[in-house]
């Protein structure tokens, strides 16, 4: 594959799918406790071997690590989504999926040798205490946090804690050139799953959801109500790079689009028990049309949303074939803070499709990294290159042909944008520059509105010129398209720095092929019945 075409999307896909492996799709919120060692001969055999190693083996061995490896090897022989989660990893993912953590409510980065506040979260403990973006946190409970190498894990451990506990900070505020003490009471801080929402045009709304966590439905409802008040008649639901999450949350969102009694999804376990989920009372957007954006990193619960709307002839699916995960996991505790997420059933779309793609029961490297294969077969460029199996053909109530066997195939195909590229060196470098420039020139942006920013930002290119002056020569020679793409990305990261992530997406969507396609479909009067 050409290096330039690999700059942006493959990296995001890899990260997204890795997260999807870790998160999976949870059948419910309950956590079962199981006993690993019982009374069967096989279980006693494993326990006896571990005892022999622990007490008789010639060298010192970490038996906990040995057991962890044993469990991982066992799960590797099942399916790609049955995974072991260590105690430390489980805490982090649980926070992510619960949609909240206990801390002081800031986003930060190490700038030079200082812990610098990038953003203060709305209604969080730091905002209530008076912390501001740009503040340098010098000490926390008398522990020095500047002038030395500090990793993020150490910072998290220092700033996070139990609810209603305090952390004493000393902050240097550059604008006032003085040290300021703060005592901040830790509290729950939300982890947003709704990246952005806004109106694309007079009647077309936009939402981007990055996962389906415990708080996603509430975030969705707030966004939906707000957009409807702004006159939304049709919705663009962006599920690109969304690896999934809680099944129940996905069905709650689908319920807002489907009429009472419509089948949303059903699951089947090893005993052939079938559990069906139907739409309930009137949803808040049953009369509106929804365009769902997907790509190869849209997985699990994202595919349930796309499949349910597609099979019920409700939504128009736009983009490229989704990942293809049709397995449902349940989290089971192992008694020491660790857990396994074990595949307990398969799910099917309303027409009866399983969208699970094939997998081996051992060695799943290719399973998670088939972007290259999709690229080389031409699937990312041409819808006709998507392989389908006639025996897995299904028909929706209005006569639309859909296929199972490996992801959701979109109704409207949009090829990958091979023109949007620039050297990947610039992704982090541009973000660092935007932070530094804004930190040093806060007054320059104080009076800017977002509308003015979108129109007038860097018209004379003095910011872009200053950025390029910081770049090593081997990365500074850009073709015309590369230069224009980099300017757009720099504008987007500045928008996020000055305003919020909503502003970032408003900028970056200006050259988004899928967004352009949806706007075109909207003008053509979609939806059009088959």
Catalytic residues: 300, 311, 325
Q: Which residues contact 355 (CB under 8 A, 6 or more apart)?
A: 303, 307, 322, 324, 325, 326, 349, 404, 405, 406, 407, 408
User: Please, which residues have CB within 8 angstroms of residue 133's CB and are 6 or more apart in sequence?
Assistant: 117, 118, 119, 120
How buried is residue 206: exposed, middle or buried, by Cβ count under 10 Å (0-12/13-18/19+)? buried
Q: What SS3 state is found at 67?
A: helix
Looking at 256-404, list the stretches that DSSP marks H as alpha helix, in order from N- to C-terminal side: 301-311, 365-368, 371-376
Bridge-based pairing state of the strands 327-333 and 339-348: antiparallel
Write down the residue that tokens 């399973």 correspond to.
Answer: 367
In angstroms, rounded to a whole number, what is the distance separating the alpha carbons of residues 350 and 334?
35
Output helix, strand, coil percentages for the chain, rounded to the nearest 5. Answer: 40, 20, 40
Reduced to 3 states, what is the DSSP secondary structure of residue 203?
A: coil
Helix (H, G, I), strand (E, B) or coil at 329: strand
Note the residue count of the chain.
530
CB-based burial of residue 391 (10 Å sphere; 0-12 exposed, 13-18 middle, 19+ buried)? exposed
Whole-angstrom Cα distance, residue 104 to residue 127? 9
Name the β-bridge partners of 276: 266
Neighbouring C-beta atoms of residue 428, cutoff 10 Å: 9
| 276 sits in which H/E element | strand 274-278
Read off the tokens for 520. Answer: 């075109």
Alpha helices in 57-160 (DSSP H): 63-76, 87-98, 125-129, 152-159
Q: Which one, of 368, 248, 348, lies nearest residue 303 by Cα?
A: 348
The SS3 assignment for 422 reads coil
Strand ranges (E), 86-226: 100-103, 106-111, 114-120, 136-140, 143-144, 166-173, 178-185, 187-190, 194-199, 204-209
């Amino acid at each position: 594959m050409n290096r330039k075409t690999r700059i942006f999307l493959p990296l995001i896909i890899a990260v997204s799918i890795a997260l999807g492996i870790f998160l999976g799709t949870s059948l419910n919120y309950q956590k079962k406790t199981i006993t690993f060692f019982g009374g069967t001969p096989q279980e006693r055999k494993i326990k006896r071997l571990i005892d022999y190693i622990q007490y008789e083996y010639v060298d010192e061995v970490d038996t906990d690590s040995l057991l962890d490896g044993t469990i991982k090897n066992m799960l590797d022989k099942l399916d790609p989504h049955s995974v072991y989660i260590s105690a430390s990893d489980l805490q982090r993912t649980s926070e992510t999926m619960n949609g909240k953590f206990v801390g002081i409510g800031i986003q930060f980065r190490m700038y030079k040798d200082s812990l610098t506040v990038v953003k203060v979260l709305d209604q969080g403990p730091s905002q209530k205490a008076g912390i501001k973006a740009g503040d340098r946190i010098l000490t926390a409970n008398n522990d020095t946090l500047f002038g030395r190498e500090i990793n993020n894990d150490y910072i998290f451990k220092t700033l996070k804690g139990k609810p209603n506990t305090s952390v004493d900070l000393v902050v240097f505020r550059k604008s006032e050139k003085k040290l300021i003490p703060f005592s901040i009471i830790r509290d729950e801080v939300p982890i947003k799953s709704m990246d952005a929402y806004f109106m694309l045009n007079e009647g077309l709304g936009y939402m981007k959801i990055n996962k389906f966590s415990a708080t996603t439905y509430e975030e969705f409802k707030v966004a939906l109500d707000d957009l409807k008040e702004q006159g939304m008649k049709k919705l663009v639901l962006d599920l690109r790079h969304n690896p999934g999450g809680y099944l129940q949350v996905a069905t709650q969102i689908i319920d807002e689009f489907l009429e009472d009694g419509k089948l949303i999804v059903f699951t089947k376990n090893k005993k052939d028990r079938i559990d069906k989920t139907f739409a309930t009372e009137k949803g808040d957007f049953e009369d509106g049309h929804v365009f769902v954006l997907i790509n190869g990193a849209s997985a699990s619960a994202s595919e349930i949303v796309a499949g349910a709307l597609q099979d019920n002839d409700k939504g128009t699916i736009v983009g490229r074939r989704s990942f293809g995960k049709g397995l449902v996991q349940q989290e089971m505790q192992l008694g020491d803070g660790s857990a396994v997420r074990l595949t307990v059933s398969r799910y099917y779309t309303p027409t009866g499709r399983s969208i699970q793609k094939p997998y081996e029961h051992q060695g799943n490297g290719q399973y998670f990294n088939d972007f290259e294969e999709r690229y080389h077969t031409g699937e990312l460029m041409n819808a006709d290159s998507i392989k389908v199996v006639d025996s897995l053909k299904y028909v929706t109530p209005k006569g639309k042909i859909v296929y199972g066997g490996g992801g959701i195939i979109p109704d409207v195909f949009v090829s990958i944008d091979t023109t949007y590229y620039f050297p990947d060196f610039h992704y982090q470098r541009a973000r660092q520059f935007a932070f530094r420039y804004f930190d040093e020139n806060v007054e320059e942006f104080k009076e800017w509105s977002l509308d003015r920013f979108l129109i007038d930002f860097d018209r004379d290119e003095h910011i872009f010129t200053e950025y390029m002056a910081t770049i090593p020569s081997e990365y500074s020679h850009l073709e015309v398209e590369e230069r224009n793409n980099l300017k757009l990305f720099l504008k987007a990261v500045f928008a996020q720095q000055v305003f919020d992530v909503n502003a970032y997406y408003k900028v970056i969507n200006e050259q988004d092929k899928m967004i352009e396609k949806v706007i075109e479909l909207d003008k053509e009067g979609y939806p059009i019945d088959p």
